[in-house]
Structure 1
Amino acid sequence: MGKVILVLLWLGVCLLPMVFAVRDLQLATGRIGTPGTLQVISCEDLGEGRYDCKGMFTSDTGGAPMPVDASPDSSAGDVKRAQLTPEGDRAAPAGTMGVLAALTLPAVGFGGLGFLPYVIMYWAGARRRRRAAVIGGWLITAAGVAGMLVGMVAAYS
């Protein structure tokens, strides 16, 4: 019973980042929100590597610029494509860079799933194909790490 609980927790830890990234992916791809341009006005250092950034969002449809919260990985003076949340309080990066940045957390979760089949096979006592499970685990984990690195580079560029 303990092994089943451990596998379920492992699945939860790896799948929840994918669930939590859905809204950011919807914003980055333009499925929700208002497209426009974000100009980052200021970023306040909160300590411990945390920042609070503010900006002005100008909609593509026109209208007056409005103050919004900007992504904490922004820098003052940045001007970039963004998507305004339906609530109108935050602008998220849009386009290719926004999608790659939004995929960072799901990539970590995907990479974490790499060795789960091997662990299940080991606990089940299966001797056949464990080597293939290890090779597959390394490949999946490497793909997850690569996706995470690409997303982080996209977020901070």
Structure 2
Amino acid sequence: MSPRPNRRRSFRARQQDAHHQQQEERTQKFLKIFYLVVAVVIAGVWNVMETPPAIKEVGIGTGLIGIPGTLTILECTDQSTAKFSRRRCDGDFVYASTGEHVTVRAFSWGTVGEVYPARIADGQAGYAGARGALAALLDIGTGLLFLGLVPATAGSWLSSRVRRGLGYSLTGGGLLAMGVSVVTSFL
């Protein structure tokens, strides 16, 4: 007969295993909370900083706000940094009703020397028409996409049906809005 292996573990070894398991559970909980906070901060900052101007641009594009006229792009400057590529354009807006000229900040995707149908609101000119309204959807779609991250990172705190539904709807809506915006920017 061979000797039976000792299956009993010492009390100290069982305590250490329980301690390691508790540490692992705490780490997992911390990571879930950390990822949720990061997702909420990203979604919140983007939606606070970028969505209101985009909604204003949609209003200008649809004709709900602003005064009609034409915009000639005078100059565009590249304000790129190591992390971001940003272009700023200035233009000459001519009011349709009075013919008065005003220098304004213009949309960043214009071509220098081109004349565009535009509307002006609060010193900012926006492209008038469907193209201007749809082009602004990129920022709104990105905001929805970031909001779609929140239920995805909430993990076990939401039921899987609610998490999937929110995540799919917000992410799908964001991707659709971004796709429409990118397609219309080439028209």
Structure 2 partner of 1:110: 144
Task: Specify the code of the residue in structure 2 equivalent to 1:144.
Answer: G
Q: Secondary structure at the match of 2:173?
A: helix
Structure 1 partner of 2:178: 148
Identity score, percent: 28
Task: Specify the code of the residue in structure 1 equivalent to 2:92.
Answer: M
Query: 1:55 and 1:12, CA in 2 relative to 1: closer, same or farther beyond 3 A?
Result: closer
User: Deviation digits for residues 104-135 of structure 1, max 9, x if unmatched?
Assistant: 11111112222433443x32274x537xx447
Structure 2 partner of 1:32: 65
Structure 2 partner of 1:12: 44
Q: Is the 8 A contact 1:14 1:113 kept in 2?
A: no
Query: 1:112 and 1:125, CA in 2 relative to 1: closer, same or farther beyond 3 A?
Result: closer
Say whether 1:93 aligns with 2:123.
no
Q: Is the 8 A contact 1:13 1:109 kept in 2?
A: no
Q: Is the 8 A contact 1:71 1:91 kept in 2?
A: yes
Cα deviation for residue 20 of structure 1 reads 4.3
Q: Secondary structure at the match of 2:64?
A: coil
Cα deviation for residue 15 of structure 1 reads 3.6
Q: Secondary structure at the match of 2:126?
A: strand
Task: Specify the code of the residue in structure 1 equivalent to 2:177.
Answer: G
CA–CA separation in structure 1 for the residues paired with 2:178 and 2:158? 33
CA–CA separation in structure 1 for the residues paired with 2:144 and 2:58? 16
CA–CA separation in structure 2 for the residues paired with 1:56 and 1:13? 32
CA–CA separation in structure 2 for the residues paired with 1:44 and 1:115? 34
Structure 2 partner of 1:54: 90
TM-score (norm 1): 0.71
Cα deviation for residue 82 of structure 1 reads 0.9
Cα deviation for residue 85 of structure 1 reads 2.1
TM-score (norm 2): 0.62
In terms of fraction of residues, the more helix-rich structure is 2
CA–CA separation in structure 2 for the residues paired with 1:125 and 1:139? 15
Q: Secondary structure at the match of 1:39?
A: strand
CA–CA separation in structure 1 for the residues paired with 2:158 and 2:106? 51
Say whether 1:21 aligns with 2:54.
yes
Structure 1 partner of 2:101: 65
Structure 1 partner of 2:25: none
